[in-house]
Structure 1
């Protein structure tokens, strides 16, 4: 294994074909130079990121951030993949490493950032938020600092973002998506004067649908299929109260976000609202 680039004493870049691998180990590059051989038994961690841009940015982070933060972030990412059973976008290696390092540094400096949507994150991301809490335990074990639960919410959002093919710059969009989910679910709740059963599979499906609806809103990807015109008319007449609620949502979204909700989106919103309201009131 020959050194192609030295990032710091503990991290180097090696070539594997036309791809770069980031290799880490204690003192791996100490008194070494580009072109030198490094024994593989000194390697603790290897990162092979397929996206060239993400790999370059990750190399920058590795150069600036202590190795223990990168190793901890990787353990949290492995935990998230295992718990969720889902593939996460490579960008999470950037966003999570940077966030954990910044959060710990900020906490030690006495600066605390409040998460205005913490309550909503707990409600809407019931799989990701517990991973955020477990991450706080892991951070405490590693660095002997207990970050506030607000940080568990932020970590959960990074995990949510990585499931939606978001990159490290789009966490603000995920924050906005959470806000839209809150707004729409409140319209439904107050329209039907109900309290959702948040443990229901129908509520989970409803929130999942809102998540992707809001994602389209901010990426301006309209979901439209004229083949469902007949079905839309049937659903509209069959579930009148749910459709009327969808019209309220559509009006709100148009006025606040300047986004026109398509008939296709109205169709699926009506179906999800009907299911979640029927199961809640039943």
Structure 2
């Protein structure tokens, strides 16, 4: 194998024997590497395969943005889910959980709380996944000096549920491409500036929308206990919430179903994350601003 792109010292894009683009991680794997250089396969720790039409460059940038130790922690923790649920989990679930855990760990270190007012809904709909997620939180906390809140099990449950819903049908991904583009245009119009659609936050936003479409097809939108969270987001991110209402109007028109307040809240959090990044028209740093928000 050879290097196609270097994301950082530990993450590179390559192509496997079947001709598929894959993201490889390993300590020092990309150090001083250039496209065309051979891969030192003895340094490869993990291989991630972009699935369901995911863009390999966006997927690789997301992985590069996560500390390697958090990816390791997520992969180890997901062994619990694999045993409890008797299932395999695609590599993108490891990345999604690692991204979530990484942000949860940062929040815990900064003393920032995050409420997930969905426990009763999740416990009713997905008891097995919640039980596995609770064990995941316990395992993660056994490895940390500063534990993350037990309520993180609610968000982790949704990651496990989303993984079970994934169909691998690329036609749905292609069908939604035009809608993704329209939603980004709505955000850009609301803020009066372009956004880098290849950024990590944009990749997270697209992933959230992908899971949202799955929930819409299953008739299982996030819906319970939204009042407190809605008020908090409206106060903290008024412009992002206003933009999210516009996105919801587009989605309702295109999909033919009403969007719940909780779904709008999470749209607002992703819009806030996008808006915190530098304007690509005026910034030449190429550095993502680390901001928050759950990736569901």
Using the alignment, how far apart are the partners of 1:161 and 1:50 within structure 2? Answer: 14
1: CA distance, partners of 2:141 / 2:91: 25
Q: Is 1:6 the counterpart of 2:49 in the alignment? A: no
CA radius of gyration, larger in? 1
Matches within 5 A, 1:99-248: 99-165=100-166, 168-170=207-209, 174=215, 177=220
Q: Secondary structure at the match of 2:6?
A: strand
CA contact (8 A) 2:78 2:136 kept: no
Please list the CA deviations of residues 25-62 of structure 1 after superposition, one character each: whole Å capped at 9, or x if unmatched: 11122232222223222211112233342533321112
| Alignment correspondent of 1:73 | 74
State the alpha-carbon separation in 2 of the partners of residues 73 and 154 from structure 1: 14
Shift of 1:91: 4.7
In 1, Cα distance between equivalents of 2:90 and 2:115: 26
Distance 1:89 1:44, change over 3 A: closer
Unaligned runs of 5+ in 2: 168-205, 226-254, 259-296
Unaligned 5+ runs, structure 1: 183-218, 222-252, 254-282
The secondary structure found in structure 1 opposite 2:22 is strand
Instruction: Report how many residues are paired.
Output: 188
CA RMSD of aligned residues (A): 3.3
The answer to whether the 8 A contact 2:11-2:25 is kept is: yes
Q: TM-score, normalised by structure 2?
A: 0.54
By relative contact order (CA 8 Å, sep 6+), the higher-ranking structure is 2
**Structure 1: which 4+ aligned runs deviate by more than 3 Å?**
76-79, 86-91, 170-176, 178-182
Contact 1:120 1:178 in 2 (8 A): no
Relative to structure 1, the CA distance from residue 30 to residue 91 in structure 2 (aligned partners, 3 Å threshold; closer, same or farther) is closer
SS of the residue corresponding to residue 105 of structure 2 reads: helix
Structure number with the higher helix fraction is 1
Decide whether aligned partners of structure 1 residues 61 and 3 sit closer, same or farther in structure 2, where only a CA change above 3 A counts.
same
Q: TM-score, normalised by structure 1?
A: 0.56
**Structure 2 CA distance, aligned partners of 1:90 and 1:9?**
20
Stretch moving more, 137-146 or 2-11: 137-146
- Given that residues 3 and 35 in structure 1 are in contact (C-alpha distance below 8 angstroms), is that contact kept between their aligned partners in structure 2? yes
1:159-178 deviation line (CA, Å, top 9, x unaligned): 11221228831456759827
SS at structure 1 position matched to 2:75? helix
Superposed counterparts of 1:26-65, under 5 Å: 26-53=27-54, 55-65=56-66
